[in-house]
Amino acid sequence: MLELRLVQGSLLKKVLEAIRELVTDANFDCSGTGFSLQAMDSSHVALVALLLRAEGFEHYRCDRNLSMGMNLNNMAKMLRCAGNDDIITIKADDGSDTVTFMFESPKQDKIADFEMKLMDIDSEHLGIPDSEYQAIVRMPSAEFMRICKDLSSIGDTVIISVTKEGVKFSTSGEIGSANIVCRQNQTVDKPEEATVIEMQEPVSLTFALRYMNSFTKASSLSDQVTISLSSELPVVVEYKIAEMGYIRFYLAPKIEE
Amino acid sequence: SGVQLSITEFYRSK
């Protein structure tokens, strides 16, 4: 038996909108720790890891570990039927091939049940070790989204370089090239607008903008995004989900031929 | 431009 009641149901709606472009089908894993997902895109270039901790739910019952395969477009279709202020409850019986999403209006005057068929998904689970990163950039998520969008009208790839001067996003294409530099900027009264750069050593990596743009669909979940870079590792683009967990996107770099 | 690496080149299956 599984029963997870999320008062801020809009979080789940936003999570789905953030990942459904990248991943079509995925297993949601439910355990005593929380509700989680790990999935790669079809070309195995990017990986998304989601965690919604058990403590973040108003009610969290998960009698045994359960993995539920869902088509994310179908799940998004159902969650779009929930109001932004609705409480969402996810329910499943052991051994069942369906999951039920229950939507309750804040005044409790409307209750809806949407039952969705589960699917068998043979997915690979990767072990991601904790790493020390050469540079960690924290910046407003809306700013990062704007930069990725602007650069993708010029080129296909972005070079992200961190030096003590700041973080530079560069691209080039047929029509020309572009460089955007963001310097450290810690505004005490508006922490959500801060740009903070922690650099152990300078780092410069190249990534496909198509994926970066897809990651920025998570911007509505968090005012800030954290970008962790090391020369030998995929970049980690993390959006914290208010007191509940996170959504992390891992993207393998491009290298010179 | 450049060769796109795969995420599985960095992280192994559990």
Are residues A99 and A118 in contact, defined by beta-carbon separation less than 8 angstroms? Answer: yes
For A:185-204, CB contacts with B below 8 A are none
For A47, nearest residue in chain B (alpha carbons): B7
Q: Which amino acid is at A85?
A: D
* Torsional sign, CA A179, A184, A189, A193: positive
Q: Do B6 and A252 touch (CB under 8 A)?
A: yes
Size of interface A-B (CB pairs under 8 A): 61
- CA distances, A190 to each of A8, A139, A224, A240 (Å): 24, 12, 12, 17
Are residues A68 and A110 in contact, defined by beta-carbon separation less than 8 angstroms? Answer: no
Across the strands, what pairs with A126?
Answer: B13
For A232, nearest residue in chain B (alpha carbons): B10
For A40, nearest residue in chain B (alpha carbons): B7
Report the alpha-carbon angle A18-A36-A26, nearest 5.
Answer: 65
Residues sharing a CB contact under 8 Å with residue A167, sequence separation 6 or more, in sequence order: A135, A137, A139, A160, A161, A181, A182, A195, A197, A227
Are residues A168 and A198 in contact, defined by beta-carbon separation less than 8 angstroms? Answer: no
Q: Do A233 and B10 touch (CB under 8 A)?
A: yes
Closest CA to A226 of A240, A211, A241, A214: A240
For B:1-14, CB contacts with A below 8 A are 1-14
Instruction: Output the six-digit token pair for A199.
Output: 């650099």
Question: How many CA atoms lie within 13 Å of A189's alpha carbon, on the beta-carbon side?
Answer: 0
Q: pLDDT by residue for chain A (257 residues), tens digit each?
A: 899 999 999 999 999 999 999 999 999 999 999 999 999 999 999 999 999 999 999 999 999 999 999 999 999 999 999 999 999 999 999 889 999 999 999 999 999 999 999 999 988 899 999 999 999 999 999 999 999 999 999 999 999 999 988 999 999 999 999 999 999 998 778 989 999 999 999 999 999 999 999 999 999 999 999 999 999 899 999 999 988 999 999 999 999 87
Is A44 touching B (CB cutoff 8 A)?
yes
User: What is the Cα–Cα distance from A139 to B4, expressed in whole angstroms?
Assistant: 26
Q: Do A206 and B12 touch (CB under 8 A)?
A: no
The interface predicted TM-score of the complex, written ipTM, equals: 0.96
For B4, nearest residue in chain A (alpha carbons): A254
| Cα-only R_g, chain A | 19
What is the phi/psi pair of residue A128, to 5°?
A: -110, 105
Instruction: Output the six-digit token pair for A203.
Output: 């780092």
Partners of residue A124 in chain B, C-beta under 8 Å? 8, 13
Q: Do A124 and B4 touch (CB under 8 A)?
A: no
For A:146-185, CB contacts with B below 8 A are 156-157
Are residues A87 and A7 in contact, defined by beta-carbon separation less than 8 angstroms? Answer: yes
